[in-house]
Amino acid sequence: MKKFESKKRHVLPGDFITTAPLRLQGNVVLEGKRVIATSIGLSDVSADSVRVIPLTGVYLPKIDDLVIGTIQYIFGSSWFADINSCYQGMLLGQDVFGRGSYPTTSEMKERLEKGDIIYAKIANSDRQREPLISIADQSLGKIDSGELVKISPTKIPRLIGKHGSMIQTIESSTNATITVGQNGLIVVSCDETNGLLKALAAIRMVDEQAHLVNLTDKVKKMLESDGV
């Protein structure tokens, strides 16, 4: 029984996972004593907790997540960015121009225009208001060049891999720089066309085959082969 449970299983909403009194981590719900999956994905029962790794779903902003967003409009002294979620990211003018400043719209437009792509951090997110985002850090801010790709946000952990193994594999073998947003948006930049195409193909492969095992090896094999 134990061995059976420790294996990751494919589950659909409503599927029974376990009756063990474990901590519920994500995409599971307790109905009486039975733990039930609420999403399509892989069930993961560890020593003290149970969760379902989802294969489909929308991005919900979480504090300290790094996301990629597109500026949509300026309203008052804030920018509003599409962060591929059901909520818009709000970037305060204060965050860019410093505390107590009152930037004019034209000043704001000079910094960030509609359509600009930014790498940002979720500064605050609660149930009441739109999530606050921040670009006040060295690595954050406007992204000037690269190819923007969108994959399912639930597959981002797979793209990064254990301790970043997957993303390092792709980066090192294609010489591409990959900026990954937790919200499913990725910017890939590479000087060589071939490397860029290969990196994009690898990302697409992860998106399609996230539920399979030994994916890092498969991606490695694909990258080492010649054609794309």
CB-nearer residue toward another protein: 80 or 119: 80
CB 186 within 8 A of CB 178: yes
One residue of 10, 62, 114, 204 binding another protein per CB under 8 A: 10
Q: Cβ–Cβ contacts within 10 Å for residue 59, how many?
A: 21
The answer to whether 58 contacts another protein (rule: CB under 8 A) is yes
CB-nearer residue toward another protein: 42 or 140: 42
Q: Which of residues 97-136 bind another protein (CB under 8 A)?
A: 127-128
Q: Who contacts 20 (Cβ-Cβ below 8 Å, separation ≥6)?
A: 5, 35, 45, 50
One residue of 17, 35, 36, 118 binding another protein per CB under 8 A: 36
CB-nearer residue toward another protein: 72 or 77: 72
Tokens 């290969």 label which residue?
A: 198
Query: How far apart are CB 11 and another protein at their closest, in Å?
Result: 8
Choose among 17, 9, 21: nearest CA to 49.
21
Tokens of 177: 């720089």
One residue of 16, 75, 101, 105 binding another protein per CB under 8 A: 16
Residue 179 amino acid letter:
T
CA distance 106 to 214: 51
Query: How far apart are CB 206 and another protein at their closest, in Å?
Result: 14
CB 97 within 8 A of CB 110: no
The answer to whether 15 contacts another protein (rule: CB under 8 A) is yes
- Local structure of 22: helix, strand or coil: coil
Q: Determine the interface stretch with another protein among 28-36, 101-109, 116-124, 156-164 (rule: CB under 8 A).
A: 28-36
Q: Who contacts 211 (Cβ-Cβ below 8 Å, separation ≥6)?
A: 10, 41, 42, 55
Tokens of 16: 């029974």
Q: What is the DSSP string of 202-214?
A: HHHHHHHSTTSSS
Query: How far apart are CB 123 and another protein at their closest, in Å?
Result: 19
Q: Which of residues 151-210 bind another protein (CB under 8 A)?
A: 154, 209
Q: Determine the interface stretch with another protein among 107-115, 174-182, 185-193, 211-219 (rule: CB under 8 A).
A: 211-219
Residues in touch with another protein (CB under 8 A): 7-10, 12-16, 27, 29, 31, 36, 38-40, 54-58, 60, 86-87, 127-128, 154, 209, 211-213
